Chain A
Amino acid sequence: MDRTLVATVEDHRIALLAALAITIHIAESALPTPLPGIKPGLANIITIATLCLYGLRTAAWVLMLRVLAGSLLLGTFLSPTFALSFSGAVAALLVLSVARLTPGLGFGAVGYSLLAAMAHMAGQFTVAYWLFIPHPALLQLFPVLMTAAVLFGLVSGIIVATMLKHFR
């Protein structure tokens, strides 16, 4: 019995994109944050670009691999940070799936990026509130965090849209 695991073209593509996303993720983790929970989320650029270029399946792989491998490399795997990152990624993926699979919505890179950023923030905030800090004072942070999500979602969306123009 000779069984070999053949890496398809898509596997290579996923690996390459995930590596890019992980690199951005780790580089960004070195930046100081003004408020806990606020960071540019530049790895989102890779997720959205992948979604626009190769579709939902590849984007889901890249996103989940980035969260998993990123946390392993940063040493936060299965820590509260990971729980937040993971729940944010799952929420973003759910919203992106709906936005992608519902016909006739016509979102471009900026729309997907905004949706992903806001879903990520809302998802991880919900988990933070229910699991870690169920204190009403935390809710006061929510509008501030969502403002950051809209801002950074827009910025990375524009980066993706500009990037994709050079591909076409």
Chain B
Amino acid sequence: MRSSLLTRSDWLLLIASVALLPWLYGSFWGSTGGMGEEVHIMVDGRELPPISLSKDQTLTIQGSIGPSVLEVANHGIRFISSPCQGKQCIHSGWHTHAGEFAACLPNRVALLITGRESRYDTFNY
């Protein structure tokens, strides 16, 4: 008689294990890093006073080649417009987590989100 490789219990266990994985990703990748509380904006090497992420507002920062417009809303921040060519700063979208970093390098405008718990210890370029 030709017996199958997996018993009934094996199949059940396999299905349970595979089903466990998305749950693991959801619970370990979902809410780590902590939400950001403040954003530190640097212009041309100078750091501006930190701005709270809880107050919705639109900021216009005068960079080295023109104005960069930043929007603070829903505890996050994004670039709305910038006088650069690549517009990578705008495409990087919303930044909400502590430790996240965004920059418009041509305009020398950078922002770093801080919070109680940082997602990254340090950055190296």
Interface of A toward B, CB cutoff 8 Å: 105-111, 114-115, 118, 136-137, 139-140, 142-143, 146-147, 150, 153-154, 157-158, 161-162, 165
**Contact B17–A114 (Cβ < 8 Å):** yes
Question: Per a CB cutoff under 8 Å, which of A107, A147, A165 touches B3?
Answer: A165
| Residue among A105, A109, A147, A158 with most chain B CB within 10 A | A147
30 cross-chain CB contacts under 8 A: A107-B13, A108-B5, A108-B6, A108-B9, A108-B10, A109-B5, A109-B10, A110-B5, A110-B10, A111-B6, A111-B7, A111-B9, A111-B14, A114-B17, A136-B32, A136-B117, A137-B32, A137-B121, A139-B28, A139-B32, A142-B24, A142-B28, A143-B24, A143-B25, A143-B28, A146-B20, A147-B21, A150-B17, A161-B5, A165-B3
B107 to chain A, nearest CB (A): 31
Tell me what chain A mostly uses at the interface: helix, strand, loop, or mixed. helix
Q: Is the C-beta of B29 less than 8 angstroms from some C-beta in chain A?
A: yes
Q: Could you give, for residues 17-42 of chain B, a 1 whenever the CB lies within 8 Å of some chain A CB and a 0 otherwise?
A: 11011001100110010000000000
**Contact B21–A143 (Cβ < 8 Å):** yes
**Contact B32–A114 (Cβ < 8 Å):** no
Tell me what chain B mostly uses at the interface: helix, strand, loop, or mixed. helix
Chain A residues with CB under 8 Å of B8's CB are 106
Question: Per a CB cutoff under 8 Å, which of B7, B20, B29 touches A140?
Answer: B29
**Contact B21–A146 (Cβ < 8 Å):** yes
Bound-complex Cα distance A153 to B13 (A): 12
**Contact B32–A140 (Cβ < 8 Å):** yes
With both beta carbons as reference points, the residue of chain A lying nearest to B119 in the complex is identified as A137
Chain A residues with CB under 8 Å of B5's CB are 108-110, 158, 161-162, 165
Chain A residues with CB under 8 Å of B18's CB are 150
Question: Per a CB cutoff under 8 Å, which of A110, A143, A162, A165 touches B29?
Answer: A143
A114 to chain B, nearest CB (A): 6
B7 to chain A, nearest CB (A): 4
